[in-house]
Chains A and B, each alone.
Chain A
Amino acid sequence: MRLYWKYFAMHLKSAMQFKASFFMMLVGQFLVSFSVFLGIHFMYLRFPTVKGYSYQDSLLCFAVILLSFSIAEIFVRGFDAFAGMLANGEFDRILVRPRNEILQVLCSKIAFTRIGRVVQAIAMFLYVVATSEISWGVKQILTVIFMVIGGSGLFAAMFILYAALCFFTTESLEFMNIFTDGAREYGKYPIDIYGKKVLWICTFLVPYTLVQYYPFLYLTGRRNEWWLMFLPFLALLFLVPAFAFWKYGVRHFKSTGS
Chain B
Amino acid sequence: MIEVEHVSKTYKVARRDAGFVNALRALWHRRVEEIRALDDISFTISDGEMVGYIGPNGAGKSSTIKVLSGVLTPDAGKCVVNGKVPWKERVEYVRHIGVVFGQRSGLWWDVPIIDSFELLKEIYKIPDTTYKDSLDELVTLLDLGKIVKTPARQLSLGQRMRCEIAAALLHRPELLFLDEPTIGLDAVSKLAVRDFVRRINVEHKTTVILTTHDMQDIEALTKRILLIGHGKILRDCSFEELKAEAEGVSGGSIDEIVAALYAKYHI
CA A100 to CA B92, docked complex, whole Å: 11
B111 & A14 in contact (Cβ 8 Å cutoff): yes
Rounded to whole angstroms, the CA-CA distance of A96 and B12 in the bound complex is 24
On chain B, the residues within 8 Å of A257 by CB distance are 9, 11, 63, 66, 71-72
B111 touches A17 (CB 8 A): yes
- A10 and B90 form a contact (CB under 8 A): no
A252 vs chain B, min Cβ distance (A): 10
Q: A17-B110, A92-B66 are in contact. Are A10 and B71 (CB under 8 A)?
A: no
Tell me the number of A-to-B contacts counted with CB atoms below 8 Å.
71
Chain A nearest CB, measured from B2 CB (Å): 16
Q: Considering the complex, which residues of chain B in the window 188-230 have a beta carbon less than 8 Å from any beta carbon of chain A? A: none
Closest to B118 in A: A6
Partner of A98, one of B11, B72, B87, B92: B92
Contact of A13 among B71, B94, B115, B122 (CB under 8 A): B115
The winner among A6, A7, A18, A88 for most chain B CB atoms within 10 A is A6
A-chain residues with CB within 8 Å of residue B95 when the two chains form the complex: 98
What is the minimal beta-carbon distance from B114 to any residue of chain A, in angstroms?
A: 12
Tell whether A99 pairs with B123 under 8 Å between CB atoms, given A89-B104, A93-B106, A255-B73. yes
Say yes or no for B8: interface residue by CB 8 A criterion.
no
Contacts of B91 in A (CB 8 A): 98-100
Asked if B90 and A95 make an inter-chain contact with CB atoms under 8 angstroms apart, the answer reads yes
A7 close to B104 (CB less than 8 A): no
A48 nearest CB across to chain B (Å)? 50
State the Cβ distance, B207 to closest chain A Cβ, in Å: 16
Total interface residues in chain A, CB < 8 Å: 24
Q: Is A51 engaged at the interface, CB distance under 8 Å to the other chain?
A: no
B32: Cβ under 8 A from any A Cβ: no
Which B residue sits closest to A100, measured CB to CB?
B91
Q: For A6, give the chain B residue with the smallest CB separation.
A: B122
Chain A residues with Cβ below 8 Å from B109 are 14
Query: Residue of B at shortest CB range from A7?
Result: B119
CA distance A254 to B99 in the complex (A): 17
B33 to chain A, nearest CB (A): 14
Residues of B within 8 A of A197 (CB): none
The CA of A61 and the CA of B97, in the complex, are separated in Å by 51
Contact A96 B71 (CB under 8 A): yes
A2 at the interface (CB under 8 A from B): yes
The answer, yes or no, to whether B124 is at the interface (CB within 8 Å) is: yes
Q: How far is the CA of A97 from the CA of B119 in the complex (A)?
A: 12
Q: Which residue of chain A has its CB nearest to the CB of B67?
A: A257
A17 B73 Cβ-Cβ under 8 A: no
Give chain B residues whose Cβ lies under 8 Å from the Cβ of A97.
94, 123-124
At the interface, yes or no: A256 with Cβ under 8 Å from chain B? yes
| List of B residues within 8 angstroms of A3 by Cβ | 122-123
Cα distance A93–B165 when bound, in Å? 14
| Closest partner residue, chain B, to A93 (CB atom) | B106
Separation of A88 and B109 alpha carbons in the complex (Å): 15
Of A95, A99, A256, which is in contact with the most chain B CB atoms at under 10 Å from its CB? A95
B108 within 8 A of A: yes
Provide the A60-100 mask, 1 if CB < 8 A to any CB of B, else 0.
00000000000000000000000000001110110111111
Docked pose: A99 CA to B122 CA in angstroms? 10
Using an 8 Å CB-CB cutoff, how does the interface string of A1-42 with B read, 1 for contact, 0 for none?
A: 011001100100110011000000000000000000000000
CB within 8 Å for A96 and B69 given contacts A17-B151, A257-B11? yes
8 A-B contact pairs sorted by A residue (CB < 8 Å):
A6-B119, A17-B111, A89-B104, A93-B106, A98-B94, A98-B95, A255-B73, A257-B9
Q: Measuring CB to CB, which residues of chain B are less than 8 angstroms from any residue of chain A? A: 9, 11-12, 63, 66, 69-73, 75, 87, 90-92, 94-95, 97, 99, 101, 104, 106, 108-111, 115, 118-119, 122-124, 151
- The list of the 8 closest CB pairs from A to B, nearest first, reads A98-B95, A14-B110, A17-B110, A254-B73, A95-B71, A6-B122, A96-B99, A257-B72
